[in-house]
Amino acid sequence: MNKLNTYMNKNLLFIALLIMGIQTQAQTKFHFPDSNASWNIANGGTNFNVTFRSYGIMGDTSLNGLTYKKIGESTDTMFKAANANYFCAVREDSNKWYFVNKNDSINYLLYNFSAKIGDTIIIKSPWLWGDSSIQIVSKIDSILIHGNYRKRISFDPNSYVSIIEGIGSNYGLFYNGWGVFDYGFILLCFHQNDSLIWMNNPENNCYNINLGISTPPTNTMFNIYPNPAGTFFQINYEGNIYRNLTIELYDLAGKQILTQSSKSNSCVLQNTHSYKGIYVIKLWIDGNPMGCKKIIFE
């Protein structure tokens, strides 16, 4: 009996320690970095041209009586404050990140890490098309990064956008592109205190990425209407009528998510999966690549 009691006590102790560990893990919070942090961004262009930017903290500044972190922008592969230009200022308050654009004094919401599933987040920003961007929280979980679990909030499943506590967004600010650190589409790397914390690049570097799509020539003879699009969009090719016209839709990671063929120089496609953000249309005529253009889904 004593052996049994000892065994049970050990098991109970193990369970209690396990629960304490889980609770400790769940209680860990990661705030906006207070210093020595940088973000490497890949910005996909209309014709699969990719440019790269690095952003980093350049000290403190006071705006409207509040203390912000100054954020600089640089074309260096690794952020160097000496080569950077002032881009914006960021502060954290009550688990929300706010920023002030370099060109004005308005305080905008950047990320809300207190959001709950089902919450509607309305973002207003000088980088958005239109007055605001609306996203609904669809999932909240944790992600293991650099030996620590961080809170991750995901939005509309078709937008692929998520925000990670202490880091920011994986793509851009809700309406893909025109974010603050991520003035484009993919957060390649995040460094803090000279350590690589986050990398999202199959090429295992922070300054180069292949979108996974061959680069066809630009062709101004096909148009997308409407653009921005909603539930549908139409492709019109202004050249001669060819036997086979094929339209392919790609996300910015190079994944083909839709294809449709037509035997005329006009084709209507439905956005049946309610995609949001920026995608790329690639046009083929009789099996030959004719060009590519960017499309925005609202």
Are 166 and 246 part of one and the same domain? Answer: no
Rounded Cα distance between 233 and 224, Å, is 7
Residue-level pLDDT at 289:
66
Are 44 and 163 part of one and the same domain? Answer: yes
Are 100 and 165 part of one and the same domain? Answer: yes
Are 108 and 144 part of one and the same domain? Answer: yes
- Whether 104 is in a domain gets the answer yes
Phi and psi at 83, nearest 5°, equal -105, 5
Do strands 50-63 and 37-44 pair parallel, antiparallel, or not at all (unpaired)?
Answer: antiparallel
- Whether 98 is in a domain gets the answer yes
Residue-level pLDDT at 223:
80
Are 195 and 285 part of one and the same domain? Answer: no
- Whether 204 is in a domain gets the answer no
- Whether 209 is in a domain gets the answer no
Do strands 277-285 and 245-250 pair parallel, antiparallel, or not at all (unpaired)?
Answer: antiparallel
Residue-level pLDDT at 94:
94
Rounded Cα distance between 294 and 281, Å, is 6
- Whether 15 is in a domain gets the answer no
Q: What is the pLDDT of residues 39-63, one digit of tens each?
A: 988 776 544 456 788 899 999 999 9
Confidence of residue 86 (pLDDT cuts 50, 70, 90): very high
Residue-level pLDDT at 276:
81
Residue-level pLDDT at 18:
47
* Contact yes or no for 296/229 (Cβ under 8 A): yes
Mean pLDDT computed over 71-84? 88
Residue-level pLDDT at 25:
46
Confidence of residue 169 (pLDDT cuts 50, 70, 90): confident
Are 178 and 229 part of one and the same domain? Answer: no
Distances in Å between the alpha carbon of 129 and those of 133, 194, 297?
Answer: 8, 35, 11
* Contact yes or no for 206/52 (Cβ under 8 A): no
Are 280 and 167 part of one and the same domain? Answer: no
Listed range (72-81, 118-127, 147-156, 237-246) with the worst mean pLDDT: 237-246
Length of the chain: 298
Are 189 and 248 part of one and the same domain? Answer: no
Confidence of residue 20 (pLDDT cuts 50, 70, 90): very low
Rounded Cα distance between 134 and 173, Å, is 11
* Contact yes or no for 25/40 (Cβ under 8 A): no
- For the cut 60, the answer to whether the pLDDT of residue 171 exceeds it is yes
Q: Which CATH number goes with the domain that contains 231?
A: 2.60.40.10
Q: What is the total count of domains within the chain?
A: 2
Q: What is the DSSP letter of 3?
A: H
- For the cut 90, the answer to whether the pLDDT of residue 267 exceeds it is no
Q: What average pLDDT is seen over the chain?
A: 75
- Count Cβ atoms below 10 Å from residue 234 Cβ, excluding itself: 14
Q: Which of 110, 37, 33 is CA-nearest to residue 72? A: 37
Are 235 and 94 part of one and the same domain? Answer: no
Residue-level pLDDT at 292:
72
Confidence of residue 172 (pLDDT cuts 50, 70, 90): low
Are 227 and 172 part of one and the same domain? Answer: no
In the chain, what percentage of residues exceed pLDDT 70?
69
Encoded amino acid at 97, one letter: W
- For the cut 90, the answer to whether the pLDDT of residue 151 exceeds it is yes
Confidence of residue 215 (pLDDT cuts 50, 70, 90): very low
Are 62 and 123 part of one and the same domain? Answer: yes
- pTM of the predicted model, to two decimals? 0.62
- Count Cβ atoms below 10 Å from residue 207 Cβ, excluding itself: 15
- Whether 187 is in a domain gets the answer yes
- For the cut 60, the answer to whether the pLDDT of residue 241 exceeds it is no
- Whether 257 is in a domain gets the answer yes
Tell me the residue range of the domain where 275 lies. Answer: 222-297
- Whether 206 is in a domain gets the answer no
Are 235 and 194 part of one and the same domain? Answer: no
